[in-house]
Structure 1
Amino acid sequence: MNEKVFTPKEVNPLNSLDEWEDAVLERYPDPDSIASSKATEEYRNYDDPARDTVKEFYRLNHTYQTYDFVQEKRNNYLKFDKREMPIWSAFDFLNQLVDDSDPDTDLDQFQHLLQTSEAIRRDGHPDWMVLTGLMHDMGKVLCLFGEPQWAVVGDTFPVGCAYSDKIVYPEFFKHNPDYANPEYQTKTGIYKQGCGLRNVHMSWGHDEYIYQMLKDYLPESGLYMLRYHSFYAWHREGEYQYLLDDHDREMLKWVKLFNPYDLYSKNPEPPDWNKLKPYYQELVARYLPVTLKF
């Protein structure tokens, strides 16, 4: 693999990680029921909705997320040998990713996760789904290990096969070395039709990382939520049907159920942690080990 040295601007093209979600909300406005503090059209209200930073983010993402890049990151991070922390210390670690530019909230990362999980709990979903909401963005700690933003967040997509034109900014894929590899540019590429998403390598980011971290602790429905909540070309655009198997089609409903809670649960009023703490301590202890390996 070409060992490119990225400039600081190439490592952090966005003003914040949440700027990616801002752009997602502009593409996919969703129901009002979860957005309890204001109407959905009021969310992500930037003066320039076509932000050049987002476009540059996707140029970098689509240029450098190659099949080989994904394998390199999997080999590096899925050993989970970077550090080990108690779960509540892991949330403190994640909170180092303070987002000063989000127009919807100035709360820390943990508060966003707590608002997501509380919205899920308020609607009466199973406790494992509440926990999924609490943990779904933990993989963003990859930024704290030195990974560029475009290798942590962003719409995910399969590598090793042709790119869908429903992926945001598909024109930037022509800069990707895989674009010139005929083996990777057929419809199914290196995969077989109907092989199932579990046999497909996705672009690298926080979805795959947190899925791999928690795959022994949550039910399959929750694991699909973690692994594919950023795979918008599939769960919003209906693409890549030829790679799916019956299990993927059955699990799609869970991914679609989860996604709005992630995007629309932010509220400027922080949850009352003193009241919620006993519930979440018991919930985490019931499903997860005392420490997490990163």
Structure 2
Amino acid sequence: MLSMLEQNNRILYFSAPTEDKYKTYKLLIATSIGGSDMAAYVHSMRSYLGTGVKFALNCYGGNASRERLEVYIHEEKVSDLVLFISVIPGAKILFWKKMLTPPILAAYDVLWLLDSDMLFGVDHFPLYRFLSIGMETKAAIFQPTVHDTIHPELRPVHTADRTVAQAVCILEIMTPFIRSDMWKEIHRQGLVYIDDKILYNSSWGIDNWWCDFAATQQLLTLTSNTTVGRIPPACLVIKDTQIVHLNSRSMPREEHAGVDSRLATVKPWVEYSNKTNVSGQCGRLDDLLGQRQQRLFYFNGKATTRIKLGSASRAQHKKIIVKEVPRDWKKNAAQIYNRNRHQDLQTVERLNAKWKDKVLIGNGSTWEFLLLLKKVIDPTDNSLLQTNQWSHVLQVYTAMKVDNITSPKALSLALIHDFGKLLVLFGEDDANVMCSTIVLKQGELGRGLDSAITTWNHDEFGFQKLRRYLPPDMAWAIRYHSLSPLLKGELHQFLTPEELTWFPLLRLLWKYDHMSKRSMYTPLVDLQEVRTILSTFLPEKICF
């Protein structure tokens, strides 16, 4: 049995199992792969795998018959590893729905949904050690770290002599391990309700749903007497195990489906999540973990500091949080800021030309665009760390509500001020999206900030996308909410009389934007109320 050494909110430290404690679990590996590569792929995995492992294989291209594929498998002498072969064209999620049914999973402990372009070896990814950790923690879904993922909390980190497993609220679809009993519920209560035509085009969307769903299932098993050490996480990433995603994009249909098609796949998952009241449940489980703990544990590499909940002053907590920023995180953030500070007038002109008035998706639901912030993490934010931007905007919104801020403009800005950070999902460098802004070229006295030129980031992109819908003061607040010199009172001489009247709204936004940040925390909110606030100034659909 693994022993939990300490818990820092959602960071769980476990001792690694020794070799004689590894358990053999019945593992089903589901892979969708091109027909000509199928047999060779399974053969290459033989030496890596132990007993109790079977493959569920699918040819996604539909360019080979099942009988011919079985011949390839027989010729490579790997028939004993293959449970079945299917030929189902389209995205892999359609294969999951049609073939990985609860009866199929009945004989297995865990399902590994493995992309065929994942590179790993025993040195960086010892499978059975990894399985022992994941299964002993009783996490519903778990995965190794993945190089070059867009989610920083899923990337590799350097650890000392212990295994670090971090609870998260998103796991990607490239290499998750799902407990058999949880997969049965995911299939029975999720996949079967999504239309095959949607699943055929793209696998987007389920990664935003299954951690919330798993948390809902975990919460159903809790009682008032459940101790914190026995509350299983919904989703877990095991930090000292690593896989490389080669991103071969061997499935042309999904790659060329386009953003419209992919977002069309996200939509039913979002709607189904709201309909079944699972949205935000992963955050709720985290809240419950925090409420049931009698102490918070912080690990600084040398000693453990224990602080009773509520006993530490704000300054003490701030000091602890600063100590807890991982070294690799700070180094990466510094590198991004360094690139940002090398922006010059030509860079700003180039970025304006590249993104101004560019339609990336077209007309779409404002609410669904906002929910895409779940996919965005700011790698320069040492306060939020791996917390996504959806959680951040809800933190700002909730903090305003707690302080009895009732201004519709302020509450709306809490939700949409970082809308521009969605640009990272379309390939722009973090250095040109995140970070605060500074003045590159001074403006004219009293002529307005528009006469000055600042470094380029999400403020400008969000302003360009939303200004046609918003009152001028709100659009202005979005455009300059990261301009630190302005917030310090150093640029007031450039403001017009009208901008001076707008400044209090910007200052209010800035206060709650910066003072409400909390790592790994998603507030519980009334989503219908949030949608109502969002619709106060923005139409149901906007052009993005």
Question: So what's the TM-score if we normalise by structure 1?
Answer: 0.67
Q: Residues 121-165 of structure 1, C-alpha deviation per residue, up to 9 Å, x if partnerless?
A: 332330121011001111111111111111001121233x2xxxx
**Contact in 2 for aligned 1:80/1:293 (Cα 8 Å):** no
Matched, 1:108 2:385: no
Q: Which residue of 1 aligns with 2:368?
A: 89
Q: CA deviation at 1:195?
A: 2.0
C-alpha separation in 1, matches of 2:453 and 2:378: 30
1:136-215 equivalences under 5 Å are 136-159=417-440, 161=441, 188=442, 191-215=443-467
Matched, 1:224 2:476: yes
Q: Which residue of 2 aligns with 1:8?
A: none
Q: Which residue of 2 aligns with 1:277?
A: 527
Question: So what's the TM-score if we normalise by structure 2?
Answer: 0.38
Q: Which residue of 2 aligns with 1:25?
A: none
Tell me whether 135-144 or 241-250 shows the greater mean CA deviation: 241-250
More strand, by proportion: 2
The amino acid across from 2:517 in the alignment is: K
Q: Residues 13-55 of structure 1, C-alpha deviation per residue, up to 9 Å, x if partnerless?
A: xx68xxxxxxxxxxxxxxxxxx99x954454442659944343
Q: Secondary structure at the match of 1:95?
A: helix
Runs of 5+ unmatched residues, structure 2: 1-147, 154-312
For 1:70, which of 344, 348, 354 is the aligned residue?
Answer: 348
Q: Secondary structure at the match of 2:534?
A: helix
Q: Residues 53-77 of structure 1, C-alpha deviation per residue, up to 9 Å, x if partnerless?
A: 34332321122x2222212222222
C-alpha separation in 2, matches of 1:288 and 1:242: 32
Q: 1:271 to 1:86 in 2, by over 3 A?
A: same
Q: 1:143 to 1:105 in 2, by over 3 A?
A: closer
Q: Which residue of 2 aligns with 1:134?
A: 415
For 1:265, which of 511, 516, 528 is the aligned residue?
Answer: 516
Q: 1:215 to 1:42 in 2, by over 3 A?
A: farther
C-alpha separation in 2, matches of 1:250 and 1:103: 30
Matched, 1:248 2:529: no
For 2:332, which of 53, 58, 65 is the aligned residue?
Answer: 53
The amino acid across from 2:496 in the alignment is: D
Considering only aligned residues, what root-mean-square deviation do their CA atoms show, in Å? 3.3
C-alpha separation in 2, matches of 1:286 and 1:247: 23
Which structure has more RCO (C-alpha within 8 Å, separation ≥ 6)? 1
Q: Which residue of 1 aligns with 2:543?
A: 293
1:29-48 equivalences under 5 Å are 39-44=317-322, 45-46=324-325
**Contact in 2 for aligned 1:142/1:206 (Cα 8 Å):** yes
Matched, 1:117 2:397: yes
The amino acid across from 2:437 in the alignment is: T
How many residues align? The count is 231
Identity within the alignment, %: 23
Q: CA deviation at 1:271?
A: 2.3
Q: CA deviation at 1:284?
A: 2.0
Q: CA deviation at 1:230?
A: 0.8
Q: 1:263 to 1:81 in 2, by over 3 A?
A: same
Q: Secondary structure at the match of 1:292?
A: strand
The amino acid across from 1:292 in the alignment is: I
- Radius of gyration: which is bigger? 2
Q: 1:231 to 1:213 in 2, by over 3 A?
A: same
